[in-house]
Structure 1
Amino acid sequence: MLDAANDAAKLALALVGVLALWTGLMRVAEKAGLVALLARLLRPLLVRLFPEVPADHPAMGAIVMNMAANLLGLGNAATPLGLQAMKHLQDLNPMKKTATNAMALFLALNTTHLTLVPAKTIAVRLEYGSTQATNIVLPTILATACGMLVAVVAAKLLQRRFPLTDPPDGEPAPASSADPQGGA
């Protein structure tokens, strides 16, 4: 049992070192404008993915910045941006007790975000003696891209299958206007 605790402590220290280095490098990239550049590149795609969110609304800005931060592995910076995006999406929501399509899609994208540099995985591989710890980068990019694509397709298909309807007289609308059981 003590051996396991010792191994865990060693791994934690190794992770802290790599994560501190990576976080520092990403902070420099953020200050150098890399996040803003990525945000400009992502905006046209995200405006198409979120047609119900006005392009100039603060929600779109927060979504774009969140996705750019996640892409660069800046999870600590991405979290408050994601919370801010959800708050702004809720401001646009006419049915306050029901998640909108934009909220569901954003959650799916945020959960399955594309990872360019899997710093934690590289750190674990280095700690356990891998001589080619960075060989995981390309498979990680491919796997996270596939996961993100599946999330977007699933969210868009579910939006079509279960469309949101306007609430009658200020009451919350059901999540779907279609009866999934096929009954009355």
Structure 2
Amino acid sequence: MVNWIWLFFIVVSIAAAAFTGRMDQVTQAAFDGAKNGVTICFGLISILVFWMGLMRIAEDAGLLKRLAKLLSPLVRLLFPDVPSGHPALGYIMSNMSANILGLGNAATPMGIKAMQELQKLNPRPDTASPAMCTLLALNTSSITLVPTTLIAIRMNYGSANPAEIVGTTLAATAVATAAAIALDRWYRRKQPPAKLIPPAYPHDNGLRSSGRSRSSGTAPPGAARPPA
């Protein structure tokens, strides 16, 4: 869908330039945009390497794991339909922790793994489950303590105080996260709860002993036998 939107913008822009006789400006803008993109990318490399190095040190020091533990009660509240102890919860907490610290490169693979684990619980594989929608909303509007990329861009353009946006960014992302959670809760109340696929248990190949006993006609251990 997004690709079609971009294609529409490009076609309309070129058509408008052709009808108004400004094709030379379109060509110049294309070259200038490509040049600015390369310049900005090379200018951000050293700054991003520095910040990502600092964040990697924080990650190796256990800061990410400690933050994930602090987020555990909140995650259980936001994802009540995910079974306790499911691997998806661990990936969700790691994704949220990385986003809070501005570790976008670390948050992306964790978010993908979380979605893959949530898909295993999804009773309708062709439709996103409520838990998947919640994760997407939180991942998009996550509270950010250190906006690394924005700070790097401001430094690249010679800002006198590139980190002065930390406070406003924190406030903006906090409001965005609160709005995302509120809308998510509202939509959850409108829809009936879906029955999740129970997680597989390694000792019985995905079936509980009670269910297997019923299917085989034998009572589970310790159960009273019916009178003959």
**Fold shared, TM-score > 0.5 on shorter chain:** yes
Q: What is the aligned partner in structure 2 of residue 70 from structure 1?
A: 99
Deviates more, 1:44-53 or 1:119-128: 119-128
TM-score by length of 2: 0.68
Q: Which runs of 5+ in 1 are unaligned?
A: 168-184
Q: 2:163 pairs with 127, 134, 137, which one?
A: 134
Please say if 1:124 is aligned against 2:176: no
Q: What is the aligned partner in structure 1 of residue 111 from structure 2?
A: 82
Q: What is the aligned partner in structure 2 of residue 170 from structure 1?
A: none
Q: 1:57 pairs with 86, 94, 110, which one?
A: 86
Let me know the Cα RMSD of the aligned residues: 1.9
Higher relative contact order (CA 8 A, sep 6+): 1
TM-score by length of 1: 0.83
The percent of aligned pairs where both chains have the same amino acid is: 47
C-alpha spacing 1:43/1:9, structure 2 compared with 1 (3 Å): same
What one-letter code is carried by the residue in structure 2 that aligns with 1:69? A
Q: 1:59 and 1:154 mapped to 2: Cα distance?
A: 22
Q: 2:115 and 2:33 mapped to 1: Cα distance?
A: 40
Q: Cα distance, 1:165 vs. partner?
A: 5.0
Larger radius of gyration: 2
The one-character-per-residue Cα deviations of 1:139-179 (angstroms, maximum 9, x if unpaired) are 00110111111111111101112335569xxxxxxxxxxxx
Q: Which runs of 5+ in 2 are unaligned?
A: 1-27, 197-228
Please say if 1:41 is aligned against 2:70: yes
C-alpha spacing 1:51/1:21, structure 2 compared with 1 (3 Å): same
The one-character-per-residue Cα deviations of 1:44-84 (angstroms, maximum 9, x if unpaired) are 11101111112311011111111111111111111111111
Please say if 1:110 is aligned against 2:139: yes
Q: Cα distance, 1:5 vs. partner?
A: 5.6
Q: 1:41 and 1:54 mapped to 2: Cα distance?
A: 19
Deviates more, 1:67-76 or 1:156-165: 156-165
Please say if 1:152 is aligned against 2:184: no
What one-letter code is carried by the residue in structure 2 that aligns with 1:28? I
Q: What is the aligned partner in structure 2 of residue 143 from structure 1?
A: 172
- Kindly tell me the number of residue pairs found equivalent between the two proteins: 167
C-alpha spacing 1:46/1:16, structure 2 compared with 1 (3 Å): same
Q: 1:46 and 1:136 mapped to 2: Cα distance?
A: 28
Q: 1:99 pairs with 88, 109, 128, which one?
A: 128
